[in-house]
Amino acid sequence: AQHTSQPKREVADTRPTTAEIQMMPLSEDPEMSPGQLLHVATQWAKANGFSNEQLMEFGHLLQMVAATFIPRNQISNLRALDQGSFGQIYSGVYDGSAVAVKQCSSDGSQIQLKMRELLLELSVLVRIRHPNIVTFWGTAANFPSHPQAADKPYIGMVF
């Protein structure tokens, strides 16, 4: 039998370290279940012009997100660290431990373009457990409940 316990994480100092904390947006419904997230995200994708092929690929991505879902309200003290072509990197606290959150660019067109990359990365991350590789804890995600909402979608991988 394969050992499936999670590695021990360092306990983080939960005090904010700077007055300039930049938070990722909270969901309109912070208690959204993975099933509700799938429905809302699919409706958002349709309203944002995803093709049938993109919707199918997006569905696979959403299944991976739902399987590794961490409610955004369980991640605290988020602070922007850096930004790259993929999106933004944040530091934060999840379950009392220091984590990094890699957030995909919020622009809907960026998510369309980066879907395959996200899907491939998630499919590898969920299977890797090695002492020399950062531990993947799950995925935080949010999609606006209404296509006209000012909120932008995000998918963040928690390490």
User: What pLDDT does residue 12 have?
Assistant: 46
In a domain, 25, yes or no: no
User: What pLDDT does residue 146 have?
Assistant: 73
Q: What is the mean pLDDT of residues 33-52?
A: 87
Q: What is the mean pLDDT of residues 125-149?
A: 85
Closest CA to 50 of 102, 111, 106: 111
CATH code, 109: 3.30.200.20
Can you give the residue range of the structural domain that contains 44? 34-158
Higher-pLDDT residue of 136, 23? 136
Share of the chain above pLDDT 90, in %: 29
- The rounded mean pLDDT for the chain is 78
Most confident of 33-37, 39-43, 114-118: 39-43
Pairing verdict, β 138-142 and 154-158: antiparallel
In a domain, 111, yes or no: yes
User: What pLDDT does residue 60 have?
Assistant: 92
In a domain, 129, yes or no: yes
Sheet holding 97-104, edge to edge: 75-83, 87-94, 97-104, 154-158, 138-142
What tens digit of pLDDT does each residue of 74-106 get?
999 999 999 987 888 999 999 999 999 998 866
What tens digit of pLDDT does each residue of 58-77 get?
999 999 999 999 988 899 99
Quote the pTM value.
Answer: 0.71
Judged against a pLDDT cut of 50, whether residue 2 lies above it is answered with no
In a domain, 5, yes or no: no
Q: Where are the beta strands (DSSP E) in the chain?
A: 75-83, 87-94, 97-104, 138-142, 154-158
